Amino acid sequence: MDYQTILWSHENGVAEITMNRPDNANALSARMSDELFDAACRCEAEGARAVILTGSGRMFNAGGDLQEFDDAEDKADHVTRMATILHAALSRFSHMDAPVITAVNGSAGGGGFSIAISGDIILASEKAKFVSAYTASALTPDGSSSYYLAKHIGLLRAKELMLTNRVLTAKEACEWGLVTRVVSPDDLMAEARKLAAQFANGPTKAYGGVKRLLQTAYSEGLETQLDKESRSIAAMMKTHDGAHGIASFLAKKTPEYKGK
């Protein structure tokens, strides 16, 4: 796909995806949803072992392109198609083995807020701000925030953010448990790339196993979760990295993981 709204690079196992509509606050358009889905598929097809998702310019992503919504002849159909494709992209990011780092460089609102908090690791610039924003335009959340937000910060705080559209600073978001770490604006991408490089040299299949186990941490009963744990750790024993990791530990050597 010829990208018009995102930037893409993939080097040394790290895929970088940059939402790139800086003159439009990186707002989510139908085209961007298509391109994010293509990029998510491409991460897996090209064997990316870590992913960084960020925005260009001063904003991370201000949410849906409301002008595009308003211009659509059938607004409900337009939003249905766009949200379905965006959700397919986010689902692929969630289920892939590669850890996904969202590097929140600026304000994240609406759909951008949802994308920001969907990362496995959420790094925020000190200049970042977070706001649900949906109900300010008489809308309800999309982009997975109704799934992730309450899990991150609890149901009452999730209701507060979604009903009142309270704006959180990066510091407040970190204190609430909404982001992993806050860094200076100048250090954001360096920190994201340093962490991504660490993941790209790690046991990728094990990372994927952890992601999938934690997806059901709040929804499965104890015995079901224990069964999933048994199956997952046994599956790791069939991977190259699982056996290699154990052998390296016993030999007191630094493992060299292949992500297989």
- Catalytic residue annotation: 87, 142
Give the span between the Cα atoms of 98 and 22, in whole angstroms.
Answer: 27
Q: Going edge to edge, which strands form the sheet with 100-104?
A: 6-11, 14-19, 50-55, 100-104, 121-125, 181-183
Give the span between the Cα atoms of 238 and 183, in whole angstroms.
Answer: 38
In one-letter notation, the amino acid at residue 227 is D
Given a contact cutoff of 8 angstroms between Cβ atoms, the answer to whether 34 and 85 are in contact is yes
H-state helical runs in the chain = 30-45, 66-71, 75-95, 111-116, 145-153, 155-164, 170-176, 188-200, 204-215, 222-236, 240-250
Give the span between the Cα atoms of 87 and 76, in whole angstroms.
Answer: 16
Of 38, 87, 52, nearest in space to 195 by CA: 52
DSSP letters, 27-93, are -B-HHHHHHHHHHHHHHHHTT-SEEEEEESTT-SB--B-HHHHHH-SSHHHHHHHHHHHHHHHHHHH
